[in-house]
Each structure stands twice: as C-alpha cells, then as structure tokens.
Structure 1
Amino acid sequence: MAPCGRSTMAALASVAVYSCMVLCLMSAAVAAQLRVGFYSQTCPTAETLIRQTFNDAVQQSDGIGADLLRMHFHDCFVRGCDGSVLIDSANGNTAEKDAEINQTIEEEAFQVIDNAKARLEAACPGVVSCADILAFIARDSVAHYGGHFYDLPAGRRDGRISRASESMLELPTSDLRLGQLTKVFAGKGLTQYEMITLSGAHTIGVAHCPAFISRLYNFSSSSGVDPTLDPAYAAQLQQQCPTAESNTEVPMDPPSELGFDNSFYQGILRHRGLFTSDQTLVSKPAAAAQVTLFALNSAVFKSRFSAAIVRMGSIDVLTGTNGEIRTNCRVPNSIELGSSFFI
C-alpha cells in the first residue's frame, strides 16, 4: 500500500480527533444523567444500608474490600458499569464472574452484594440497581482503608447480558506494557493519567502467583528473572512462589496491604512493582513523572483517585429506561420471572 501524503495524514488525524470528540460528548451526556443524591427521594437510606452491609462484611474478613473494589473495575470494563459481573452462569452460558480472569474474586464478595441488595429490597423494593450497589460499596471500600470518601453520582441501571468471553477480551491483564495499557483504557474513554491513577488500587489486596510468575523464572534467554524487578524482592517472591504451579496469595503492596495510600507508587520507584503492568508505569518519562508525584504526595494521589474512579464509574452506563433494576443481582429479571429469555 502506498504511503499516505501529508494531506491524507491530516485528514485522517482530523477524523480521529472528531471521532474522539463525539465519543467524549456522548460519554459526558450519559454521565450527566447520573447524579449525586439520586436516591434521596426514592430510597433515602440506600447509601447508609450499603455502608452498614460493607461494615458488617469487613468485620468478618478484613480484606474483602479489595475484592469489592476490583469487582467494580471489572464490571465497568465489560459492557460498562451495569452489574453484569454479578450475574451467575446459567442456561449453558458462562458469565463474566466465571471467566478465568475473575475466578480469584472470592465468592464472599458476591455475597456481600447479595446482602446489600436484600436490605435494599426490604426497604425500597425495585429501586436501587445492583450496578449502583457495587459502585457505592467500592467507594466505601476505598474510604475504609484510608482513601477519600467521595461524592458518587448514581442512577445506573442493570444489564441483562454477561459473557465470560467478553471479560477475557476487555479486561487488562497483568502482563501488559505501558502502551498496551494506555490503549485499553483509551478504549474506555480514560486517559493515560487516569490509567496510572486507577492502577493505584493495587495498594490494597492480594494477587496469586500465576499473575506474575513469568517474571521470576526463565524470563528470557539472557535472564532468569525480569531485570526490572528488584533482586531482593524477586528472591522473596520466589520463596512465596517456589514453582511455576504455585498459587499462593501474595500482597500486591507488601508494606501496606490494607492501607489505601501511595506506598504502591513508592514501590514502583524501587523496582518493586509486583506485575509487569505495575512496573511498566515508569517506562516512559511522562508516566514516570506521574508515578513520582504520587509517590511523594499521598494527598494528591487520593484526590486524583477519587476523581478518576468517578469517571470510570460512568463508562457506558445504562440510565433512564434502558436496562432494568434487578430483583436478584445474580439473575436478570426476565429469568427470575421464569420467561424464555436466555443470556
């Protein structure tokens, strides 16, 4: 194919800019339908009941909030923030929650959402969506571990489709490089800056050995261990994951496993990012500058994270008369009512 001339390149650039503007305007229009205090008239105790449910859960399992926050991310990146990650597999369909990438989310995290839904259905039946419950409880998780308690616009409605295959295609994996991560997030209307900010969620919770084992053994023909990984940290991880088949749980941010702070970014500057997708955040000067800013200033990170997760929570939301308010977060209403609908 012949190379493009300057006029052709300029035209293509104009089309790209126009397309981006259209997508941003559409996203802004949908996000505008979400609003803070959405349930103030229809279910004024909604946020309180959700917070009480979370508080009950974290007393039983102190790390449960990390899974709940992760569920919100994984929900929004597949079909938008529509609660589809909560739907059970049925009728021969394998749902998102059973995709390999989601199988490390503990079942008890899904039960927390069930418990919140049960309380809300008792207080105000058919009003609060499962998608909003997940967004609120992710906010409560961030605040519980030390992040900001941010105002969260609501009004999301629930989707009725959930496919494991879409999770495998849409969700970013731990082996991605900076350019690949930037592209994945851009596809959801999020900037590289927001991607680096949202990566800070890795400051809480655990990972399993398969997510990073390739960095520890037979990394390349010239290096057994990923050379971007601090040798002392690599040796520690090898003790925790002694074989390629190991499936041990490892803290993603060992100095601060249950603290929502900037320790994650400090670790990256010391070459202690657990995943390839973590350490790659300092592979280019502009990205490294942002990591350094957050590593030096926890308050700035927490503030920017609140803004970024609110933006993420508006990805492709269903509002108005689109979607539904599920009675049972695990089952679309049409199936719950016994119709012939299949996912």
Structure 2
Amino acid sequence: MYKSIIRPVLFSFDPEKIHYFTFSLILNLSKIPGVKHLFKAMYVVEDKQLERELFGLKFKNPVGLAAGFDKNAVLYNELANFGFGFIEIGTVTPKAQEGNPKQRLFRLKEDKGIINRMGFNNEGLEAAISQLKKNKGKVIIGGNIGKNTQTLPEDYTKDYLDCFNALHPYVDYFVLNVSCPNVSSHAKLNDKDYLLELISSVQKANSKCSKQKPILLKIAPDLNNIQLDEIVELIAETHLDGVIASNTSVDRTGLKTTDARLEEIGNGGLSGQPIKAKSTNVIKYLADKSNKAFPIIGVGGIHSAKDAIEKLDAGADLVQVYTGFIYEGPKLVKKINKAILKR
C-alpha cells in the first residue's frame, strides 16, 4: 500500500514540504486513542534475540533511525512506535540556523536516492533540550552534534563542547558530525590533527560528568584507504567508542539520473541506494583493518532486509536507515528485524 498508493502521492510534492507534512501527520495521528498501539502492533518486533549491548547501552534491536530525519527531537517518542531500536536526533548546533537556501532537497527516483544540501538547518540547542525533556524513555536517543555555519575556525571545538555539555543529561550517546559535505570548512573537520584536538576536548568534558556517555565519530563514505587507516589509528589513539559509517557522498558515479538533471540540482550530499556498496566497503575495511577493535554503526543505502544483513556481515554491529525509510516505508524496520532473527 505504501509503495503503490502513499509514496506516489507524497513524491508528487516538494520533498522538504512533504517531510514536515509527514511529521504533522504522525504527530496528530498519534494523539488519536489507540493509534500508537496500532502502530506498535503493525511495526514493532520484540524478541530477546534482537537485543544488542554496545558501549554500555542495551539496544532493543539493532535497527536505528539516522540523524537528519528528526533534527529537532520533535518526533522521537512517536517514531519509537515504528519499531526502531534507537533514534538519532540532530544534527544540533548551538544556535538555531536556517541552513542553505531552498530548494535544497531533491529526490533521485530512478536511483532510489536523495541529494540534500540542507546545511545543518535546526532550531538550536535550547529547542532540542525543550523537546528532549518530553522523553518517555521508549527508545535509546543519540545526539548528533555539529558547529554553526558562521562559527570561526578557532571556535569550532567550542561549538561541539557547548552542544555536548548542554545535551549530556538528555541523550544516551553522542555523534561528532565532522563529515557532512554541506557545511563550511569541511577540510578542517576531516584533518586528523584537528580531530585529535576535538575528540580529546569532548572526552575531557565527558570525564567530568558523573555518568559518562559514549562518543562516536561519523565519517564520510568517500574516504580513501589511507584516510581510513588514519581513522583506525585515531580510534586506537583516542579510545573513541565507535564509528558511524557513513555520511552522505559527493560522488555522482554510476547514477541513472541524467547529467543535465544533476547539473540542475547542483552540489549536495547523496544518500540512498547509490551509496550502498561504498558504505559497505568502508565498514568492511574498518572492521578488517582494526580486527574489529571498535563498534561500527552501518548506514547508507539500506532499502531492504538484505541490504541491512550485508552491512552486518561486513562488520557493522548496528544499522541505521533514513532514505530507505522514505522510499520503502515504515515496514522496512520490521522486515530487517525479522530477517535478523532468521539468520
């Protein structure tokens, strides 16, 4: 029903407008008595065999929702009824910002992909905290944090620390987003020396808290083997809790979408099916090179249970969906969890 009726209707409108329309629809439907229980009955798979324990957290199942969907922590309580084992909010920046000019979100229907150049649009720290105070404890929450676009290079670390310190009481784990291609000074955020400075600063802040929270690094799928070797060295040196592989890609190789259309769309990060293999290869390389020394959350191009299993077989401990959730519908999470039980 979703792919034959609902998706064609949704896909006939502007992607960003539909995103917010869907938010309102889920929020309002969830207020109707009995609807939340109906969603849970339709989409939630509960089984002890699905549970995963990583970096001190117990996940009900290994399928999460990637950052970018619920940027401002508005919908996580309702989304928990769709069967997710964890939900990552953000990317959150210290101050609210509008992001890049619209139109900035594009569907690549032939490729089952999305190109976005949102630019960390979000309502800022205070708005996120206000929403997170409504947490009903249904699901593990990750906090994906970044810097404001206008922040000067010498203040990048301060932005991350501001987010980390303020969100610390309200999220279960943190993700340092240093790999989004739609923010300024992308190069510095991927420099190993700077990453050492950033990670050590955040870890120092973490050590001062009565309860320390896991810290992960989200990396790009476009890194070459030398850069991936540096990531492995970085994790070994800093004892970071894990890696999320991967973010969106700037590579346009092998797309069915015409060059003319791609030129019309312009720059942005590519997600969905076109980056499936690239993301899986990064996961496998990191797992093999490090001898599985750290946890990996696999994300990128998961549109089926088979895609998720490939990520897990490559070395991922957990997986996340986003673009696949949009293209395949809410039953995707249930299908993945059922397939994992059959392994």
Considering the TM-score relative to the shorter chain, is it more than 0.5?
no
Q: Which has the larger Rg?
A: 1
Q: TM-score, normalised by structure 2?
A: 0.29
Q: Please identify which structure carries the higher strand content.
A: 2
Bigger relative CO (Cα 8 Å, ≥ 6 apart):
1
What is the TM-score of this pair, normalised by structure 1? 0.29
